Amino acid sequence: MQSYFHELAGFAESLLTAREVLLLHFAGEESSFVRFNRSAVRQAGAVEQRELTLQLIAGRRRVAAVITVSGDASLDREHIKKAIDAARERLGIVPEDPFLHYATENRSTDSAHPNRLPEDEGQVVESIMAAGEGRDLVGIYMAGGVHRGFANSLGQRNWFSTYGHHFDWSFYLDGDKAVKCAYAGFVWNPAEFEERVVRAAAELEALGRPARTLEPGRYRVYLAPQALAEIVGLLGWGGFGLTFHRTRRTPLLRMITGDATLDSSVNMVEDSAAGLTADFDEAGFIKPDRITLIDQGKLGQPLVSPRAAKEYGVPANGAGRNESPESLAMAGGAIPRRDVPAALDTGIYINNLWYLNYSDRNACRMTGMTRFAAFWVENGEVQAPVNVMRFDETLYRMLGDKLVGLTREVELLPDSGSYRRRSTRSMRLPGALVEDFALTL
């Protein structure tokens, strides 16, 4: 796909006039999908697609178009020429954009990661089927290559490709009771997958015990990485972007004003060097290997989109228009994962949360529900599943003065979204042990 993208970019450049600048962004994939229900394959298929976003610029005016390219050079050239001609007709009537900003320094890069996925996907499917034997397994397996490219008429060329798998599944019991799991990476490791299956099977067995309803109150809880991901994911919408900081719409306002900090063990970075997402944006700006978002509990650098960079007079650092993290990594702590039940002692083991929103955005107070497998634990032993409850807590308590500790191990949690195309967003998170966690309903 890389050479074909470069061929199309060269052709598109040949159509320009002297006063025009062209930006091209490419998104492609070759993906396999297998859906499971009741431990059987219900749907299997493959997708190969390519999409090209063109931005034609003259002075401060810009017109964008999105086209699907097929791989047939003659057909695709025709579509590109029509798109540029149509954009050129509109350039004279669109208003000037005072915050139009794109890279003008030629910084070409090539980041092509090797394909280490199994040649025979049938072996992966067989291992998944074996894991579901005697159980109700439901989920989706996605694997293959994801490609991104950038080119401009100033001579810059950037390419990114990676190959990975993501199996998002649940062991379903009945009603609202299920154990939700995920396994993702660049190499399918049967032993690592089996370890997750064994852990999930033990939770499924515990889920079959009579459920316990708890009274509202404050409890010692363990937030598994999947549960913490919901909290950090909500924080990502407005928490780290420069635009939200400058307009005081960020949920981390108290950290900006110096009224609050998190625990000193909390460290978060935007980790572009991990190779899970492209290291350049759609305007051609190169992302640093790492951007420190939270450093020892204190607010670090903001994510800066090209428009925000222009508006506020600061350098862009490759953030998208929403200025939310795409490859967030949080450092682990000192608690070994195997010791979590003992460290929790008596309280609630929470695997998943959902329906999160802010109950008080300025105070970074969040509310949401427990989901799937949550367990009551006494003296380090699982006693019973817990019926669904609502929580209402501030980040400054959960990851601040009420944080007991973080797990030593961190887990890769890719975004399972595949609407329009496979997502390249991800998080690497530990689990968090928290005391006095407020459950309100």
126 and 248, same structural domain? no
Which residue segment(s) compose the domain that 173 sits in? 2-207
198 with 83, same domain: the answer is yes
**Number of domains the chain is built from:** 2
What CATH number did the domain enclosing 18 receive?
3.30.2290.10
Let me know whether 44 and 110 are in one domain: yes
**In the chain, which stretches have pLDDT less than 70?**
none
| Residue 106 in domain | yes
Q: Are residues 200 and 230 in the same domain?
A: no
Identity at 380, one-letter amino acid code? G
**pLDDT value, residue 175:** 84
Shared domain for 45 and 113, answered yes or no, is yes
Among the candidates 145, 178, 207, a domain finishes at: 207
In a shared domain, residues 235 and 203: no
Residue 391's pLDDT is what? 98
Whether residue 338 lies inside any domain: the answer is yes
Q: Give yes or no: residues 186 and 223 share one domain.
A: no
Q: Which of 207, 237, 267 is the last residue of a domain?
A: 207
pLDDT at 276: 82
β-pair type (268-271, 217-223):
unpaired
Single out the residue in 156, 175, 207 at which a domain terminates: 207
Whether residues 309 and 394 share a domain: the answer is yes
Please check whether residues 186 and 258 belong to one and the same domain.
no
Is 76 found in the same domain as 7?
yes
Same domain, 183 and 89: yes
Residue 212 lies in a domain: no
pTM of the full structure: 0.93
CA-to-CA dists, residue 285 to 84, 157, 293, angstroms: 23, 11, 19
Same domain, 146 and 269: no
Report residue 151 as tokens: 């080119």
